[in-house]
Amino acid sequence: MLEILLSKPVLIGLHLAFAIIGIDAFLWLLGEIKNDSWRKARLYWSAIVGVTAFILSWLSGGYYYVKYYGGLVKPIIQKGLAPWAHNIIMETKEHIFLFIIPLALTALFITFLDKEEFEKLNIKWVSMILVVLIVGLGLVIGAMGFTISAAARWGVQ
Amino acid sequence: MNKPKLIYSSAVASSLAIVFVAAITIVAELQVPLKDWLKSLSGHHWVSKGILSFLLYVVAVFVMYAVTKNVDRKKTKGALWVTIITTILGSLALLTFFTGHHLGWY
Q: What is the ipTM of this complex?
A: 0.96
Which of B95, B101, B105 has the highest number of chain A CBs within 10 A, making it the mutation to test binding with A?
Answer: B95
Question: How big is chain B by its Cα radius of gyration, in Å?
Answer: 16
CB burial readout A140-152, b (16+ within 10 A) else e: ebbebbebbeebb
Chain mean position to CA A111: 19
Contact (CB<8Å) A95/B77: no
Contact (CB<8Å) A110/B11: no
For residues A25 and A14, what is the distance between their CA atoms, to the nearest angstrom? 16
Q: How many CB atoms lie within 10 A of CB B68?
A: 16
Determine contact, residues B97/B23, Cβ cutoff 8 Å. no
Determine contact, residues A98/B21, Cβ cutoff 8 Å. yes
Name A125's Cβ contacts closer than 8 Å, sequence gap at least 6.
none
State in Å, rounded, how far the first CA of chain B is from the last one.
49
Determine contact, residues B56/B20, Cβ cutoff 8 Å. yes
3-state secondary structure of A48: helix
Q: Which of A118, A145, A153 is nearest to A32 (CA)?
A: A118
pLDDT, average across residues A91-109 = 98
Contact (CB<8Å) A99/B18: yes
Chain mean position to CA A53: 8
Enumerate the residues of chain A whose CB falls inside 8 A of the CB of residue B30: none
pLDDT at A156 over 70: no
pLDDT tens-place string over residues A34-52? 998 899 999 999 999 999 9
Residue-level pLDDT at A69:
94
Contact (CB<8Å) B88/A133: yes
Q: Helix B3-30 vs helix B45-67: angle between axes, to the nearest 10 degrees?
A: 150
Determine contact, residues B18/A134, Cβ cutoff 8 Å. no
Q: Helix B3-30 vs helix B73-103: angle between axes, to the nearest 10 degrees?
A: 20
Contact (CB<8Å) B7/A96: no
Q: How far, in Å, are A77, A131, B88, B89 from residue A126 at the CA level?
A: 39, 9, 14, 17
Contact (CB<8Å) A105/B49: no
For residues A125 and A26, what is the distance between their CA atoms, to the nearest angstrom? 15
Residue-level pLDDT at A76:
93
Domain of A86, in residue numbers:
2-156
For residues A77 and A60, what is the distance between their CA atoms, to the nearest angstrom? 21
Contact (CB<8Å) A94/B73: no
Domain of B50, in residue numbers:
3-103
**Low-confidence residues of chain B: pLDDT under 50:** none
Which of A68, A109, A116, A118 has the highest number of chain B CBs within 10 A, making it the mutation to test binding with B?
Answer: A109
pLDDT tens-place string over residues A123-132? 999 999 999 9
Total domain count for chain A? 1
Q: Find the Cα–Cα–Cα–Cα dihedral A41, A42, A47, A49, rounded to 10°.
A: 100
Tell me the nearest-neighbour CA distance from A3 into chain B, angstroms.
Answer: 22
pLDDT tens-place string over residues B47-69? 999 999 999 999 999 999 999 99
Total domain count for chain B? 1
Enumerate the residues of chain A whose CB falls inside 8 A of the CB of residue B84: 126, 129-130, 133
3-state secondary structure of A103: helix
Q: Compare A3 and B16 and report the one with higher pLDDT.
A: B16
Enumerate the residues of chain A whose CB falls inside 8 A of the CB of residue B10: 102, 105-106, 109
Q: How many CB atoms lie within 10 A of CB B47?
A: 17
